[in-house]
Amino acid sequence: MKKFIETVGALAILFVGCSENKTITSPQTFSIQSIVAVTISYTYDAGNIGLYNISDSITYQNLLSNWTDNDIRTYNGALYILERSGKDNVLKINGSVISNATVTYEKNIGQSVNIQDIAIISSTKAYTTQLASSKVTIVDASTGIKSSKTIDLSSLIPMRGQTARMQFHT
């Protein structure tokens, strides 16, 4: 119950901060003290990115329009936006300002693959998983260009009626 009250309290503070009409005196930048959020409309026809700075309680809305099903990851000061089902793009924003002008690239990973996640392991290598594919796509994280090589996970997916079994050795 205590956890529930803390969560509701934190959300109430966030919504109060979001509803205030403050004068913006500095450019919107994300940092370690920011909450970057992707939103969708209630009709699922548009998405947007917003930013809430914890340090000064300023909210920046409608920074960048994007797809309706999306997720965000960060790596080494860059922001990666996954536009999922129906779009299948990865966007990279380099730097701390979120705007159309700071989008480094927007690259399509594949038609109708429904990107689920991205694991960025270095400035030049990332792996993306897709819901509609048993393959992991390898992407150059600096350019968004996908490699011709993939990692096939089909042998790890159980066939219909079977159960996957994993063994762990300690």
pLDDT of residue 123: 92
What would the pLDDT profile of 62-77 be if each residue is shown by its tens digit? 778 777 778 889 899 8
Q: Which residues of the chain have pLDDT under 50?
A: 1-26, 170
Three-state secondary structure string covering the chain: CHHHHHHHHHHHHHHHHHHCCCCCCCCCECCCCEEEEEEECCCCCCEEEEEEECCCCEEEEEEEEECCCEEEEEECCEEEEEECCCCCEEEEEECCECCHHHEEEEEECCCCCCEEEEEEEECCEEEEEECCCCEEEEECCCCCCEEEEEEECHHHCCCCCCCCCCCCCC
pLDDT of residue 139: 96
Sorted by where each starts, the structural domains of the chain and their CATH numbers stand as: 2-156 (2.130.10.10)
pLDDT of residue 18: 42
